[in-house]
């Protein structure tokens, strides 16, 4: 993990999941004075994740902004994360079938909303939780995306951002198991975070992201407090 200069006020692109929650804890532990968790409902089936944000924000003494942008659904159609008719693929998160869970242009959109908010409230950091495990499936989680995004946002908002403004993804080179280990050290309330893509009331334990979550706890040798419908331990 690269050591980043810590700043006064960070907007954290937050899903209520394990990665973005650990990111918020990490920012606070590294001296960020003010945190805003930004959750965006773009019509994802697993919007239950957003209901976790208020609880997580309270535990962190952070602000919480949840935006209802479900009107974006028709624009983002054709992905299993949004389309109620499509099947969320079960299996390993590195399988080719997981491409059905790619939402077109999602991270650029989420980051652009976060950057606009940062400019409006004069925050100096936007942070998001992309990590190395995302790279094979999600093109907008790769380091090359982060670099291209930073350049674009700097040009688009020249003269508008506060001095030292930065877009960071401190977990970019870490695995999810690394994040679980870090989160355990930081006291992240893992049981309050949400990963499952299937849209049920409990973690299904079968979809790609449940599989990834289970595997990360096993590899990190950290007890997994998640309440899965299918709790079998994955082969790692």
Q: Does the protein bind its own copies through residue 148 (CB under 8 A)?
A: yes
Backbone angles phi, psi at 102, to 5 degrees: -75, 125
Cα dihedral value 63, 42, 186, 223, nearest 10: 140
Does residue 152 interact with its own copies by CB under 8 A? Answer: yes
Grouping H, G, I as helix, E, B as strand and the rest as coil, residue 71 is: helix
Which position among 102, 184, 186, 219 is part of the footprint of its own copies (CB under 8 A)?
Answer: 102
Choice between 74 and 223, CB closer to its own copies: 74
Q: Does 80 bind its own copies (CB under 8 A)?
A: no
Pick 84 or 232: Cβ nearer its own copies: 84
The secondary structure element, H or E, covering residue 119 is: helix 106-121
User: Least distance to its own copies from the beta carbon of 158, Å?
Assistant: 4
Residue 60 CA to residue 62 CA, distance in Å, equals: 5
Q: How far is the CB of 161 from its own copies (least distance, A)?
A: 8
Of the pair 68, 185, the CB lying nearest its own copies is at 68
Restricting to residues 47-76, name those near its own copies by CB under 8 A: 65, 67-69, 71-72, 74-76
| CB neighbour list of residue 60: distance below 8 Å, 6 or more residues apart | 24, 25, 28, 35, 37
As a whole number of angstroms, the distance between CA 219 and CA 216 comes to: 5
Q: Is 96 a binder of its own copies (CB under 8 A)?
A: no
CB of 68: closest distance to its own copies in angstroms? 5
* Binding of residue 158 to its own copies (CB under 8 A): yes
Binding residues for ATP: 14-24
Name the nearest CA neighbour of 169 among 111, 105, 104. Answer: 111
> Judging by beta carbons within 10 Å of its beta carbon (0-12, 13-18, 19+), is residue 227 exposed, middle or buried?
exposed
Length of the chain measured in residues:
236
In the annotated binding site for Zn(2+), the residues are: 196, 204, 207, 210
CB-wise, 75 or 86, nearer to its own copies?
75
Cβ–Cβ under 8 Å, residues 209 and 100: no
Note the residues at the interface with its own copies (CB under 8 A): 65, 67-69, 71-72, 74-78, 102-109, 112-113, 115-117, 119-120, 139-140, 142, 144-145, 148-149, 151-160
């Amino acid at each position: 993990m690269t050591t980043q200069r810590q700043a006064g006020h960070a907007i954290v692109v937050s899903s209520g999941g394990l990665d973005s929650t650990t990111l918020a804890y990490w920012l606070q532990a590294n001296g960020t004075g003010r945190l805003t968790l930004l959750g965006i409902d773009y019509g994802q089936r697993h919007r239950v994740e957003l209901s976790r944000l208020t609880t997580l924000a309270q535990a962190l003494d952070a602000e919480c902004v949840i935006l209802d942008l479900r009107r974006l659904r028709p624009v983002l159609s054709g992905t299993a994360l949004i389309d109620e008719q499509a099947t969320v693929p079960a299996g390993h998160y590195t399988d080719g079938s997981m491409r059905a869970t790619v939402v077109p242009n999602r991270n650029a959109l989420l980051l652009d909303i976060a950057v606009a908010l940062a400019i409006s409230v004069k925050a100096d950091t936007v942070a998001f939780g992309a990590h190395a495990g995302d790279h094979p499936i999600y093109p907008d989680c790769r380091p090359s995306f982060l670099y291209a995004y930073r350049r674009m946002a700097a040009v688009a908002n020249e003269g508008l951002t506060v001095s030292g403004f930065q877009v960071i993804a401190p977990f970019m080179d870490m695995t999810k198991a690394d994040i679980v280990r870090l989160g355990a050290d930081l006291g992240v309330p893992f049981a309050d975070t949400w990963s499952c893509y299937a849209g049920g009331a409990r973690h299904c334990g079968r979809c790609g992201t449940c599989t990834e979550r289970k595997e990360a706890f096993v590899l990190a040798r950290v007890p997994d407090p998640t309440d899965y419908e299918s709790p079998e331990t994955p082969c790692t």
